[in-house]
Amino acid sequence: MNTTLLRAFHRVAQAGSFTGASRAAAISQPTLSAQVRALEASYGVSLFNRHGRKITVTPIGQSLMAITTRLFAAEDEARDLLAGALTLTRGQLRVSADSPTHVMPLLAVLKRKHPGLTFSLRIGNSSDVIHRVLDFEADAGVTAKQTSDPRIRSLPIRSDKLVLFVPKRHPWARRRSVAMGELAGCDLVIRERGSITREVFETRLAESGVRPGRLIEVQTREAVREAVLADFGIGIVFESELGQDAQTHPLDVRGVNLLVTEYLICLEERHALPLVRSIFDIARDALEGEPPPGPAPGA
């Protein structure tokens, strides 16, 4: 169906005359008349009763006007929605991250700048984040896993380091650091395979020739904490994730590089989208005046 002809009918029906519709739409009256007659001829109907210069809408015309009113209202709503996305007054940004700690500061700035936006956030390991971005399940991701995939654009945004932690009742709770060799035979609570925490720490253990006891594998930072408090072993998390916890005590590992770089990523083809570009701009602004993040170990 030709929407141009429908719109011509709608304008005339709204204005109550061809002259008024022509003036309001800045379209010549003969053009509008021709479009309405073409619509009537296409379906063999009469939409207006014509009485000289005066017109009235026929019953079928009244029914059609109820439809065109909804149609063009929906069109206006769609236009407003898309324009809002362009100006960041509306829209939803889907984000996947390996930790809320690393992504929330970016989202907080974006929310302050554009309060009309909404967000969805999924937390997973570093490999999950990359897969969700590649599968179009996330518009942007924050991950510590560096990738050379040409489909992905990445921006280093911050550095974090892995630390150990133990319950406050643990014998090591009065210490500030331990040597890697002291972990020999100790049970460790660590994230699942696919997480950068697991990848980096197992690499450093192997480089140091240290064989720990059992590895208790869990899928979230919260689960690591609960397992440590239940005496399953020594926990390993990012320093920023540990925060101020009255029940646990952090420990540095001496002489070992446990620094990890976090990256903001998106599909290269989606970087030009206003929402995606905006979070990258915020990340770049946050980096101004700061030293660049260090290289990820083993990268």
Q: Residue 259 — φ and ψ, nearest 5°?
A: -80, 135
Residue with tokens 């101020």: 244
Give the pLDDT score at 291. 45
Q: Are 92 and 120 in contact (CB under 8 A)?
A: yes
Nearest residue to 222 via CA among 242, 206, 192: 242
- Residues 207-236: b if buried by 16+ CB within 10 A, e if exposed: ebebebeeebbbeebebbbebbbeebbbbb
Each residue's pLDDT tens digit, 19-73: 999 998 899 999 999 999 999 999 999 999 988 778 999 999 999 999 999 998 8
- Output the CA torsion 225→231→233→235 (10° steps): 20
Q: pTM of this prediction?
A: 0.67
Q: Residue 253 — φ and ψ, nearest 5°?
A: -105, 115
Each residue's pLDDT tens digit, 149-165: 999 999 999 888 999 99
Q: What are the chain's domains?
A: 3-83 (1.10.10.10), 92-157+262-287 (3.40.190.10), 160-259 (3.40.190.10)
**72 Cβ neighbours under 8 A, 6+ residues apart:** 7, 10
pLDDT tens for the chain, 299 residues: list them.
Answer: 789 999 999 999 999 999 999 998 899 999 999 999 999 999 999 999 988 778 999 999 999 999 999 998 888 778 867 877 778 888 889 999 988 888 999 999 999 999 988 999 998 888 899 999 999 999 999 998 888 999 999 999 988 899 999 999 999 999 999 999 999 999 999 988 888 888 999 999 999 999 999 999 988 888 999 999 999 999 999 888 887 788 999 999 998 999 999 999 999 988 988 889 999 999 998 876 554 444 444 33
Give the pLDDT score at 90. 80
Give the pLDDT score at 288. 67
Give the pLDDT score at 207. 94
Give the pLDDT score at 251. 95
- Maximum Cα–Cα distance for the chain, whole Å? 101
Extended strands (E) in the chain: 48-51, 54-57, 92-97, 118-123, 140-143, 152-167, 177-179, 188-191, 215-218, 234-238, 248-254, 259-267
| Tokens found for residue 130 | 């990359």
Give the pLDDT score at 295. 43
Q: Are 139 and 275 in contact (CB under 8 A)?
A: yes
CA angle 165, 297, 143 (to 5 degrees): 75
